[in-house]
Structure 1
Amino acid sequence: MRIVLGVTGGIAAYKAALLLRLFTEAGHDVTVVPTASALEFVGAPTWEALSGKPVQTGVFENVAQVPHVRLGQNADLVVVAPATADVLAKAAAGMANDLLTTTLLTARCPVVMAPAMHTEMWLHPATQANVATLRSRGATIVEPASGRLTGADTGAGRLPDPDVIRDAALAAAASGERRGGATAGGLGETTGREEDAVTPSGALAGRTVLVTAGGTREAIDPVRYLGNRSSGKMGFAIAAAAADRGADVTFVTTMQPPADLAQRVRVVSVESALQMRDAVLAATPDVLVMAAAVADFRPDHVADAKIKKIHGDDSAPVITLVRNPDILAEAVRQRDAELQPTAPSTNVSSRVIVGFAAETGDADGDVLHHARAKLARKGCDVLVANEVGDGVTFGQDSSTAHLLRRGSDDVVTVGPAPKSHIAAALLDLVADLVPSQ
């Protein structure tokens, strides 16, 4: 695969060298296009040694080969990592004042951008608007990680690890091939053929979408609770992707959402399964995505005061558990009681409901075996089966998910890939199920 790797002027440029090596060691043909500022951080000899090709930044070098047009036209994939706030703004505005920005304008292939900058710059409304614009044109934006930044600063804006960017890039390239080839995802010209177009950003425009996220906390006493390992990241990604596509999003969550997401959706904060149940069943959205990790059990009694450890007594309190309500199953029953299916023969309902299953597989069957059984049992329209385990899925930025649809034996497997890409694939499927207005 012919990859153009754009590198912009940020301290994280050194990570792009590691990304370049991942691509070249996998056999890809990589042309590095740094900006002039990027060369202040990592020099041209490094890029040339790792790629085996000369590098240039301007449009007046090798003019006879017309590189400012040819690079984008001939690429199978364009990746920009790190993508500074400056290059995001230029790309969103369609500016073309160096080789990288002209390449972005002429690219007819999937484009993946991995922003990296200080938190204040990332959360600035201008940057968020530019990101939304780029996504609306089909670009894949790899959400920055949170962590140590330049100096003593920490927060959102850290460039994701190279393997996360690689996975997102290869997934975008594969998605582009499935959707009709080079035009899918590009920021430049398209063929105009309807079958080549990506799902538009407004595919869910005018629709109401409710997304749940995070693990519920079931109180034992005022201090302690029963919980699980869910980080809420999958729900964050789905809510953001739905908002990108023009939906009116209600986000029912046990976690604190990122500041940029909280500005774009209606946040309903809950803690327990019972609180989440009340919030979900009180709503009647066009699409319900139950991404939360809802506890199956809760203590049958919550102590009014902290349960004390009695010194000299080795005994421990006995906590009796009771079942929590099955929110997903109740939502399906409520939907079926209130709304008549608009097209029963095609398994399309007036309200699309998506469930999640965190599975490990066991002696009785693998992940897909248990997922199919849960889909049949719950009656939802789509089930997302996540492979989970120690250090897998929970708390991670990437995952592997299997998308199952009611009434179909087909399974769409996405990953390993960033959760933002899984969210996009899920909403592609959901958009096909929502009846036309």
Structure 2
Amino acid sequence: MTERLKEQLQRLGDEAPELRLPSDAWAQGRRARHRDHLLTGLLLVVVVALAGTLLRVTPASRMAAEMVAPRTEPADGVPDRLRPGSDLAVAPNLAVGVTSVVYVDQERRVVAVAADRGSYRLLPLPRGLTSPHGGAVALDRSGTMLAYTWMRENDSGGPEVLTGFDVADLTTGRLQRYRLNGRAGIDVTDLVWSPQGRWLAWRGLQASRLSSDGVGVQGRFGREAIGRLDLTTGGIVQERLPAVAARGITVDEDGVVWVFGSRATASRTLPGWARRPASPPAPENLQESAPASPNGRVLLLGEGGAAASPAMVVAGLPGPEYADLNPQFSAGSRASARTVGWIDDSHALVQVTGYGDREGDYTPVESLSLAIVDIRATSGDTRQVTHIDDPESVRHLEVATDLMTLDRPTVSRPGPWSFAGTLLVAGLSALVLALAVALVVRRRRLPRP
């Protein structure tokens, strides 16, 4: 190093400003480093939470996770918990595959729950105008065939409103439409499948006048009507019955439609393919439209009115077997029972609805569940198998009981993708972005070495 260079360096050192560090500089640096570590940790935690939420609530992510993880549940099954939601996607067509549960929500939309993944989808059913009596929907035991009623305006002359029902194959999307004739039409209120799905029986009210305001239907109704459909031939028959003759129906695998109603109605008023059981249930509050047991010889009827301990009746077809059951349901102070299907000839699947205290003309529904009832026990031994969240959002429920066994009646399935899930993901994503921006800005402010 030359003398001149030494002199220049000495001069620069003498003229440089004095560097004065605060006494707590080291502490300030440590606090800044701790804040940096905390911000990074929070960002990592939120990212993990967001990833977990996406895996839990989004259908695509759940499907990817299920493809990687080993399957512990059977391929098809009825969920142990139903979570009805309002934010549901509409299926592109009726070929939705095997369906474990179908329900009608408060908006009279029909929702299908897939048997394999448990996904929830709105079915694009051309139901047309709203039925004055609510219409009917029925899913067969296999979960592959769905029947539903319809009403629509007639644009080709004749009756102002056309009525009937459709039968859809959920595996192929194939749809067969059946129109019900007779004066102004028939408002079908009950659809019941035979045990093996060959026959479909229906019951409804004969209309003498139907008119439409473009949204719903108003009409004048009189005699009852029943009918049956043979799915192997597609032949449909219908017959008008005297008023109040049929409070309920079922159909066996031979195509016999069993009619339950007033004792005063003689069997001679029925068509040849319909009969009355030898010992019809006497109580007036029984819900009598229900599927027959797999052998087609037993019917379990539940009490429709809310009761402290809802009674059930085992009726033999054609009779005279008759037995009273008193199953104990965990459904609050008052409940009603409706048979949804059968696991086998001795165990029925029953929908149990629990009610709260009456509020004027409104009785709130407090609980809704599915229970298995053993009809061999006089006490009607029960076992709850499915719980339904938000019970007031479900107006009607159908279950594919072929997917259930006594050993494993239900499987665990995720709920539907909902608006709440969207908000949760959006909130976590916004938090991730905010933390990432804060971390980048902070690091840019730090002095570079």
Q: Which structure shows the bigger proportion of residues in strand conformation?
A: 2
Report 1 or 2 for greater relative contact order, CA contacts < 8 Å, sequence distance ≥ 6: 2
Larger-gyration structure (1/2)? 2
- Relative to the length of structure 2, the TM-score reads 0.29
Q: Which structure shows the bigger proportion of residues in helix conformation?
A: 1
- Relative to the length of structure 1, the TM-score reads 0.30
